[in-house]
Structure 1
Amino acid sequence: VLVEAFDKASESLKETSVKMKELTKTDVVDAGAKGFVVFLEGMLEFFKTGNQINMETLAADEVVEEDVIGHDVITCRYCSEALITGEYLDKNQIKKLIEGFGDSLVIAGSPQKMRIHIHTDTPWLLFVELGKLGNITAQKVDDMVMQNVIASATENNVALVTDSSCDLPQELIEKYRIHVVPLSIHFGETFYIDGVTMKPEQFNKMLDSAPVYPSTSQPAFKEFYNRFNYLATHYQSLISINISGKLSGTWQNSLNAARKVAAETGKRIDVVDSRRLTSGMGMILLRSAKALKDGMTHDELMEKIPEWIEKSKILVTTRTLKYMVKSGRLSSTKGVIGKLLNLKPVVVVTNEGTIKSFGKPFTLKQSMRLVMKEFEKILKDRRVWGYAMSHASNLKTAEWYAEKMEALTGKPPLFIQNASPALVANVGLGVVAINVLMD
């Protein structure tokens, strides 16, 4: 089986130099697929002889080319890999299911375990389909366009890094070259990469229908270490702004990785506990990105960020308590009482980065009026830099807040965005977060 898998993978690898225009020009093969085949070759060699391949003895023509490929000629943006386990995985069925998602397809393995490599523009659609075939136990997605932009840029001074709980729209992330280290989403044994192999809209649809209630987990130390290490080769310094350390271990992992990479590379890497989440953190990132673009230095920005954090305010309205009970954020007893009283709690993110109750209205209209009354009080005689909304399948309410806030501030919202699963898994569908950053 392994011999057959290696032969098939080798054939697919050769085809990548034909399928990708830039690789055809240089007569080289795709790096991700090449690594995949070398992995299989090593396994085959070990089982045959008990010896490991000595990478140093590979012929020069076996070494993968690392020339930067212009993003204007990349046919599909994301180099995606997955490891799927199951009882009766059918290679032909998998190929038929996913070959329309992109090119450079390589599939190898056994009926119990399949490894897949493909270039695609829609990994979030691809991985949901793969999840129907078995358990996705490992996955990796590289944004080849962003890698190329970073490698070919000539004005890389300060890299801005964050995690996927920031709820910034993709167009702003790309415009300001903000580097996102994603959280992961778990449905039983299958997991997805937040915002990459699963979008918020997909998560919201699966939330009520999935047999197992999902959970989210912070990016591992290794994820931050690899990202910082890569960025340190292209930027003079890095600033990472992460979700409140009181709400997640993300900030601590980011800090630990930054210290290690800084010690190894000599590059300056600062990690900031935003004491915020969702689009509240997103606006601090956006303001930081704009400041860097306008010429602000690393030192100047590090002085400003704490000021901006203090000037931000986040209020969150909920539609039901059932998701808080399912996620373990609220006891079953309190959930039953809240349901009987028909409570629609409003919560606030404190200056310390914790979440506490702000009010317990009995109707959605009451909670919405309570939120607006609070912002009217906060913004009296104060200028607003900007505001934004994050929501989970509740665009109508988010737009209602946007209309009221525009009348109050004279400014349209910076953005209205689907909330990250990091928020939705804990507080549920219908949630709306209103985030304001004072000038």
Structure 2
Amino acid sequence: MNNYTIDGSKLYSFIVSGARNLIVNEHGLNKINVFPVADGDTGTNLALTMKTILKKAQKDDHTNTTMSSIAKAAIENAYGNSGMIFAQYLNGLAIEIGSRTQLTQEEFVLATQNAVKYAYEAVSSPKEGTILTVMKEWSSDLKNHVSEEFETLLERSIENAKKTVDNTKFKLKVLMDNNVVDAGAKGFLYFIEGIYQYVKTGILDESHFRAATMEEHVEIIPNTDIGELRYCSQFLVQTEKDKEYFTKLMTPFGDSLVVSKRDEYVQIHIHAKQPEKVMATLVFEGTVISSKVDDMQLQANLLHRRKSPIVIVTDSIADFPQEFAEREQITVIPLNLIVDSTVYLDKVTMTPEYFYKHLDDYRMNPTSAQPTQEHLERYLTGLIEQAESVIGIFVSSKMSGTFNNIVRNVNSLNVTKKISLIDSKVNSAAQGLVVMEAAKLRNQGLSHDEIVEKLEVIIKNTHIYVSVKDLKYMIRGGRVSKVQGIILSKLDLKPVISIDETGKGTIFAKTLSQKKAVKQILKKVSNDMREKGIMTYSLVYSDDIAHLNDFKKECKEIIGKDPAYIEAISPIVGLNAGKGAFAIAYIKDSQS
């Protein structure tokens, strides 16, 4: 029997080396991802889970303290199905290590084996031929040869783990049909290979890690019809209730359910039809700390049925129909909406219908916030990987920090593909029209640079005019100063809000009634129609589409055609526009 021991520092190095070896193989894993759905993001999810562990976990001389820190970081920040399972495995390791400050080889091996049950228990319907199988077989092989020298033991176990990974393609039909191994299983193999590299060399330097050479595969053509459970949804909830309670609670909402818990935090992963209903249920079960929702149908289409080499991305402040976004494969990055201390995803876990219905019931004034750095990185890396070039059209930088935040994030990624990030200098329906025109230009076969050049002209000719019924929302949201708001309110003035050529919000007109405000808007529309012509327009409303009835008729009489679309104002914009608001956005004809 050997005397190999593992303290907290060495255990931390194991995890760091394993994580770094997995991270460098992110793109290769994405290419073979077909289970549970072919959305091509298993590598990204695992890599981001590992990056967060490296960023947040703390090293200590004691194994129990180190592993607890790693498990906490993993549980609270795991991404995707495989990331959640991996996090629960690490959590199981922490539980099994218990209060030990140092591990013998036998204790380490026993902990790896016992940790497997925690990973299995987190999954509502565990499948063999996945990451679970490799975890189980690897730890079992370690136990069967535990008396060997540690380096020899790891080397042997990894050779057997490779065989287990190779066999996954015969365990699940979707893997067999596409002649690939399970991406999550392969990711775990890279992780334990990283541990072995450290044990063998003692090197942790990032430059030491190289992506493995992937086998050449026949082009994967999976079934990309994801079905109605298209939203990969995750929620981190601070609660006193146990894992079993949430497993039972969440089961009716979808499939691919994974639930893990550490201390007072429960992490939930589920493929759902309506993530907003999952969110509405969870807010009554504790404090929802964070949420992540991916449209797997869009991901699958961009990966396997991409409409164009040029991919268009925008943010959730842009108002346009969901059908348009789906048809044109537009990626929408949701901003955060904070309501009564709970963070929602704009238009995803907080829909306009629900928001306006309860707007006057909230205890605190709703506010907006930028997506986290980790969330932005996840959206952008996946998008850039799938596209040949990217055109991003974002809300005015004078009205939100979104544009500058995304520019900083993209610059930090060191990408080589062509990416154009555009400040639309507008918001809401006006921003939506710019996105719609970008899609039209792309469909006409224009090049990336030609589209960007034409968008510059289009943006200069894009305008929006908003009729605000009640100023209280703009005052409490800070869009109108308190002094100005008090004056306008005392006079009972109904302003028309617009955006100037620099992208800054401005009061276009002050009237004594909303009816007179509408007249001012229609007068402006009529003048622009007469002087230059209006190429296209759209109408948006907050809580009641009936507010548009007369306005829609008059706009059609002036412009001579129906709007390109009518859509609800996003909750992010609505927290300032408030109830009773509606608007017209249009693009003047630049050819006149």
TM (normalized to structure 1)? 0.87
Residues 23 and 352 from structure 1, CA distance in 2 versus in 1: closer, same or farther, beyond 3 angstroms?
Answer: closer
Aligned to 2:533: 383
Does structure 2 retain, via aligned residues, the 8 Å contact 1:386–1:413? Answer: yes
User: Does the CA-based 8 Å contact 1:258-1:270 persist in structure 2?
Assistant: no
Show CA shifts across 1:91-150 (max 9, x none).
454344432211222223267321111111100111111112111102111211111111
Show CA shifts across 1:379-400 (max 9, x none): 1143321100121113122232
Contact 1:186 1:192 in 2 (8 A): yes
From 157, 182, 192, the equivalent of 2:334 is 182
**1:404 aligned residue (549, 554, 567):** 554
1:16-415 aligned within 5 A:
32-49=80-97, 59-60=161-162, 61=164, 64-65=182-183, 70-72=223-225, 74=227, 76-86=229-239, 88-109=240-261, 112-153=264-305, 156-261=308-413, 264-415=414-565
Deviation at 1:83, TM superposition (A): 0.7
CA distance, structure 1, for counterparts of residue 553 and residue 469 of structure 2: 20
Tell me the amino acid that sits aligned with residue 547 of structure 2: T
Q: Distance in 2 between matches of 1:226 and 1:344?
A: 42
Decide which structure has the larger Cα Rg and report it.
Answer: 2
Q: Which deviations, in whole Å up to 9, do the C-alpha atoms of 1:153-176 show, x marking residues without a partner?
A: 255411111100001111001111
Q: Percent identity?
A: 29
Name the CA shift for 1:147/1:73 in 2 (closer, same or farther; >3 Å): closer
Aligned length: 412
| In 1: Cα distance, 2:286 partner to 2:468 partner | 34
3-state DSSP of counterpart to 2:312:
strand
Q: Structure 1 unaligned runs (5+)?
A: 1-21
The amino acid across from 2:225 in the alignment is D
> CA 1:333–1:93 in 2, change beyond 3 Å: closer, same or farther?
farther
Q: Which has the higher contact order (CA 8 A, sep 6+)?
A: 1
CA–CA distance in structure 1, aligned partners of residues 385 and 338 of structure 2: 32
2:260, 2:374 → 1: CA distance?
26
Corresponding residue for residue 8 of structure 1: none
2:81 and 2:388 map into 1 onto residues whose CA distance is 31
Letter of the 1:185 partner, please give it. Answer: L
Is this contact kept in 2: 1:345–1:358, CA < 8 A? yes
Aligned to 2:23: none
Q: Which residue of 1 aligns with 2:583?
A: 433
What corresponds to 1:14 in structure 2? none
What is the one-letter code of the residue matched to 1:190? T
Shift of 1:298: 0.5
Name the structure with the higher helix share: 2
Using the TM superposition, name which of 39-48 and 123-132 deviates more. Answer: 39-48
The 1:75–1:379 alpha-carbon spacing in structure 2 relative to 1, beyond 3 Å, is closer
Determine the C-alpha separation between the residues in 2 that align with 1:210 and 1:117: 27
Long gaps (5+) in structure 2? 1-33, 46-79, 103-107, 113-134, 139-153, 166-180, 185-219
Normalized per residue, the structure richer in strand is 1
* 3-state SS of 1:368 partner: helix
From the superposition, tell whether residues 221 and 25 of structure 1 become closer, same or farther in structure 2 (CA, over 3 Å). closer
1:316 alignment partner, SS class: strand
Measured after TM superposition, the shift of residue 90 of structure 1 is: 4.7
Within 2, Cα distance between the matches of 1:154 and 1:166?
22
Question: Is the contact made by 2:497 and 2:509 (CA closer than 8 Å) also made in structure 1?
Answer: yes
1: distance between equivalents of 2:259 and 2:375?
Answer: 25
Q: Offset of 1:424 from its aligned partner?
A: 1.0
Cα shift at 1:221 = 4.2
